[in-house]
Structure 1
């Protein structure tokens, strides 16, 4: 395979990263806390947790899981927490106990939670009290022997923690009634001052560390088995890719994306943790006023987000009061970055966004634009260190330069497979170790990748291929459109037709104006036949539009295009 992309790496970035620095996440954790023990590891709601404090708290949790709850190596532990200090304690506590983390979206409904708990076979769940009512409903249908409950203020110090919990329960009254009689309390497990003996576990790079469930945009979520080696590989690859940022002082970085998602957990936290950084945890990024206020309190060295987050922040009046003088890099992932959003962010902050590409099955990232200051090309960049990418036609043959085809990835970050789904695993992993992603891209002769769309999202209109993302990009250039997503619906005349779903920025915007705007940049068969105005677009927790759900919504509204 020709690796033309290597010539375009930033100076000093090697073809291969040293992904074998640590044998496991356990070894990495112990080496890192010994090195940075007095540095702050995480910050939340004004409270800082040093590396040494994280070491002690996670050791107590690991002891409880192995010796008090009698869990065995390889047992699964679900974590259903937002971005609070409890999350890194829980994650590293589970890993240090030789157990497997199952990340759970705290906003799941009871049926969604039931599926994931049943599919993973979780023996324990660590959950925020706010979501216990949902868990209680799920426990009627699935057995989870152990429940550990924490409250928002549990890691904020005695006085502030008690006040926070009182306000949440008694003043704001945002905790629905629940009753799980056998629940263990987080404070009694983690906050004891007694020293504990950390379990001595034997885990290696090939052992499972995470069951990371996919977003479920194409059906029931599947658990990708990510090993200790997979997780460390992606974190260390990114450390090599961004080595020029410098971490001598222990950088401060913003963690606004949910930690139960691989993008934030692996590509931000574990990557920066190894380097001695301090993550500013944002529990509720939908509270833009609170998020911007927190950004104003810190001099952030790096920021990661999804396009919808950058779009919302660029429109917030307080963003211009944030001190970005030390910000070296803003990264985007989770969904394609429309040029209009990148331009809006640059206009508001003076900063460029480095776009990348990845998915759960590769523990985060597989391609990224270089860090160096270059003229942006509007794509997802080059394959990162230690990673090979092939673009293949439907018949499996290699695509020509600039010819769209399916992305296939091989590297140390590629998952072991889907949990308990050998047929699905065999469908996406070939004999050479390449993962079929279902995403369509074109690779130029110099190895640069431009994402086209999801293979399953592609529409065929009158025999022509239409990629909804191309339509999205055009629609978002209209100043009166806040959000937009195109979907394909059945059509008797053309097989399928494009419908544009739009969230207005200008309340006077009309369907005719949107269609006229699209006609200026799109050939006739790509122009939306109808426009549906919505209050919001359905999205995954990291801001990726759920086109399947959107298509169902359009059909429910009876919005099939008329001849």
Structure 2
């Protein structure tokens, strides 16, 4: 950070922090942890939205040699308790609006030290006071009561600034993050990511960004960060890679507030915009967004879920930039594959394996299949996790004898070397002995003019197999599902057609925007 001390590192609600200020504040957090007896290897839970306190506490935790446990701020008390019980952090820092959630967790499962952060913390006094007043009293997002025994972040940082800090010797193999998987297929578990894993992925991302950004660097670029930083995609790409490259990270607290996001874009004119399909699609439907200036935009990076072809085509027509789709998972820090960042058209694939990354496509006997044939994606590279936290059996099941991680995703390798995702292995639907991949059904129906969003799931069939049920968020009120079925007959073979189409107001999603098929099946 020394060479960039005067550059702007973070922007939130119009307030800027320089790299020098980030250095100073994160060092204060690290010193406070040491003063509290928190040792290298101890866990620190961070339960914050995209606010200034999030990067400060994350960087400070790593500087102290401690392990970051990223926590979804929107977790219920049950979900929070499960993660705290598994990771056993000594400290948790959380947005004060979520203190009520922690209060519901039994005291025996709470960390010994609780630090509350307010939206206006780390801002100038007048601005911070106004922000906190609005959040607490106008938006009424903060309960009137306080969490007993909790400290406040400004107080903690003041104590840390006056405490001494002993630099910590950290090796590449030291544990850096416990990154919990999304839990869309069952009980979440934590991928153990080392410093080597994450640094390797930062350098890999930096390498593939060069075709699109090389002529602009070392000019400070702007990364518009609407994805939540507790998610591994945003943490590595929007936060750690951006800091490594000396970028200006503009934090968006609520990406669902399209009006606010559009205003931020108009002011900041970003060079890089990572998002998921649902956010790209929502912005394309937001009329004021269509009036913006996109001349600065160099990379539109899509991940977290499949990018639908119609969305990619509309985005390119509007912005002049194709969506560069990538693929990754928590267990790989996260990026495995990506398309070329200077691509001029949407490929429909997730691109090529990153530098230093090996990808195999395996059959059920874990043998490689021919190009063009579907199989489970297996990956080996420096970004692959150390294993699952306190779960050696699960780690063993996820790894092959020669060190490949079994992703649970079905894909094919194109003759060009690009990888195409077919679907999640666990989401595969078995219809009359045929394997059906929901992503294919989704992609077909997403191109229907009356469909805003859709998701296919398998439901039990009387013959012992499964039938396809499609949930559709309609684009208008008078959608004819019978006509939609007839439309599908021209595009899908018999066993791939939904037996039933159900119109719904919305699809259940996690906070990153990924559709939760399990919840649809449970319905």
TM-score of the superposed pair, with normalisation by structure 2 = 0.97
Match of 1:389? 359
Cα separation, 1, equivalents of 2:502 and 2:182: 25
Aligned residue among 130, 136, 143 for 2:97: 130
SS at 1:153 equivalent: coil
SS at 1:512 equivalent: helix
Match of 2:286? 316
Listed one character per residue, the Cα deviations across residues 85-110 of structure 1 (whole Å, up to 9, x for unaligned) are 11000100111111000000000000
Cα separation, 1, equivalents of 2:163 and 2:299: 40
Instruction: Summarize the alignment of residues 162-561 of structure 1 with structure 2, pairs less than 5 Å apart.
Output: 162-191=129-158, 194=161, 196-244=163-211, 245-246=213-214, 247-493=217-463, 495-553=465-523
Cα separation, 2, equivalents of 1:198 and 1:402: 55
Cα separation, 1, equivalents of 2:161 and 2:32: 12
Match of 2:24? 56
Is there any run of 5+ residues in structure 2 with no aligned partner, and where?
Answer: none
- Identify the range of structure 1 (270-279 vs 340-349) with the bigger mean alpha-carbon deviation: 340-349
Alpha-carbon contact 2:312-2:346 (below 8 Å) kept = no
Aligned residue among 37, 46, 51 for 1:70: 37
Alpha-carbon contact 1:460-1:495 (below 8 Å) kept = yes
In structure 2, relative to structure 1, the CA distance for the partners of 1:185 and 1:431 (3 Å cut) is same
Aligned residue among 116, 129, 134 for 1:149: 116
**What's the offset of the Cα at 1:518?**
1.7
**What's the offset of the Cα at 1:296?**
0.7
Alpha-carbon contact 2:336-2:357 (below 8 Å) kept = yes
TM-score of the superposed pair, with normalisation by structure 1 = 0.90
- Identify the range of structure 1 (202-211 vs 532-541) with the bigger mean alpha-carbon deviation: 532-541
**What's the offset of the Cα at 1:256?**
0.4
Cα separation, 1, equivalents of 2:166 and 2:86: 27
Question: Hey, which bits of structure 1, 4+ residues long, moved more than 4 A?
Answer: 191-196
Alpha-carbon contact 2:324-2:343 (below 8 Å) kept = no
Cα separation, 2, equivalents of 1:347 and 1:238: 26
Alpha-carbon contact 1:77-1:101 (below 8 Å) kept = yes
Aligned residue among 159, 168, 174 for 2:126: 159
Alpha-carbon contact 2:225-2:274 (below 8 Å) kept = yes
**What's the offset of the Cα at 1:35?**
1.3
| Residue-pair matches, total | 520
In structure 2, relative to structure 1, the CA distance for the partners of 1:249 and 1:513 (3 Å cut) is same
Alpha-carbon contact 2:31-2:160 (below 8 Å) kept = no
Cα separation, 2, equivalents of 1:160 and 1:540: 32
**What's the offset of the Cα at 1:494?**
6.5
SS at 2:187 equivalent: coil
**What's the offset of the Cα at 1:326?**
1.4
Cα separation, 2, equivalents of 1:379 and 1:322: 28
Match of 1:14? none
**What's the offset of the Cα at 1:519?**
1.5
Cα separation, 1, equivalents of 2:427 and 2:7: 46
**What's the offset of the Cα at 1:308?**
0.5
Match of 1:16? none
Alpha-carbon contact 1:475-1:517 (below 8 Å) kept = no
In structure 2, relative to structure 1, the CA distance for the partners of 1:195 and 1:250 (3 Å cut) is farther
Cα separation, 1, equivalents of 2:31 and 2:250: 27
SS at 2:430 equivalent: strand
In structure 2, relative to structure 1, the CA distance for the partners of 1:193 and 1:417 (3 Å cut) is closer
Cα separation, 1, equivalents of 2:258 and 2:487: 30
